[in-house]
Amino acid sequence: MTLYEKIKAIYPSLEDKDFLTVITLQNDSNGAGDYIKEWNHPTLVKPTQEQLDAIK
Amino acid sequence: MSSIVISGDTSGAITLAAPSVAGTNTATLPAAAGTVMVSGNMPAFSYYLSSSQNITAATWTKITFNTKTFDTNNNFDSATNYRFTPTVAGYYQINVIYASNSTGSNPIYSAVAIYKNGSALNYAYQGTSAAFACPSISTIIYFNGSTDYVEFYAYMYGGTGTLQAYGGSLYTYVGGSMLRSA
């Protein structure tokens, strides 16, 4: 499951457009994988690593 | 006299030569200090993505431009960081084309970005009713000739199946050239 899918599972109300406006996910193609570069959602808090790891 | 030769103090020489055609031509140097740029020291480069690169949905992913068409000053890292770091300061025209493709059939929303020194500088978005889109950016960027660099990121969502930056010299490519010195 990708980081994007995990975040959508935690916050089903998120829309795809949110990932272009208030949330930025990034992958630098260096083997480190996807990460949250910016989280500026006005109401939803950035998920913790524990929350993300709990999603399988 | 058909040419003037200026010899360096220790080595090297510059030759100013008149063309071997009739008539008088005047080249006036501007009232400015700096390095005179001629075609031989104005970097230019062109690279492309050799095979399709998978893009994670809704995730800005660095495009791994890995195949050289030309690179006159060897300023593009096509093996590790996939970035252009010119060593001659000045203003550069930079162009990037991102052919985004979904192996499924649903519409996709695609975007390409130029990042300068790790931060987004320019975006181009394109939504389509097909499974294929080609957002592109053409812009002018200043580089300090030492630490400034640019990278190129792709973005997609929607579609079904695998999301890709479509590989091949005809599809996903980047290029640039120096326009003028700093």
Residue A34: which of B59, B111, B125 has the nearest Cβ?
B59
Please tell me which residue of chain A has the smallest CA distance to B64.
Answer: A29
Q: Give the per-residue pLDDT at B53.
A: 97
Percent of chain B with pLDDT over 90: 69
Chain A residues within 8 A of B111 when measuring between CB atoms: 20
Q: Give the per-residue pLDDT at B62.
A: 98
Chain B residues within 8 A of A5 when measuring between CB atoms: 57
CB–CB of B59 and A16 under 8 A?
no
How far B111 CA sits from the closest chain A CA (Å)?
A: 10
Return the closest-CA partner of residue A22 out of A14, A11, A30: A14
For B22-46, write each residue's pLDDT tens digit.
888 888 888 888 778 887 789 999 9
Q: Give the per-residue pLDDT at A43.
A: 96
CATH architecture of B43-181: Sandwich (2.60)
Q: Give the per-residue pLDDT at B1.
A: 59
For residues B54 and B127, give the distance between their C-alpha atoms in angstroms, rounded to a whole number: 19
Q: Is B64 on the interface with A (CB under 8 A)?
A: yes
pLDDT at B74 > cutoff 90: yes
Q: Give the per-residue pLDDT at B102.
A: 87
- pTM exceeding the 0.90 threshold for the entire prediction: no
Average pLDDT over residues A41-53: 96
Q: Give the per-residue pLDDT at A51.
A: 96
pLDDT at A22 > cutoff 80: yes
For B127-170, write each residue's pLDDT tens digit.
887 778 899 999 999 999 999 999 999 999 877 788 999 999 99
Burial of B65 (0-12, 13-18, 19+ CB in 10 A): buried
Q: Give the per-residue pLDDT at B158.
A: 79
ipTM: 0.92
For residues B2 and A51, give the distance between their C-alpha atoms in angstroms, rounded to a whole number: 77
How far B58 CA sits from the closest chain A CA (Å)?
A: 6
Q: Is the distance from CB of B143 to CB of B90 less than 8 angstroms?
A: yes
Q: Quick one: three-class SS letters along A3-56?
A: HHHHHHHHCCCCCCCHHHHCEEEEECCCCCCEEEEEECCCCCCCCCHHHHHHCC
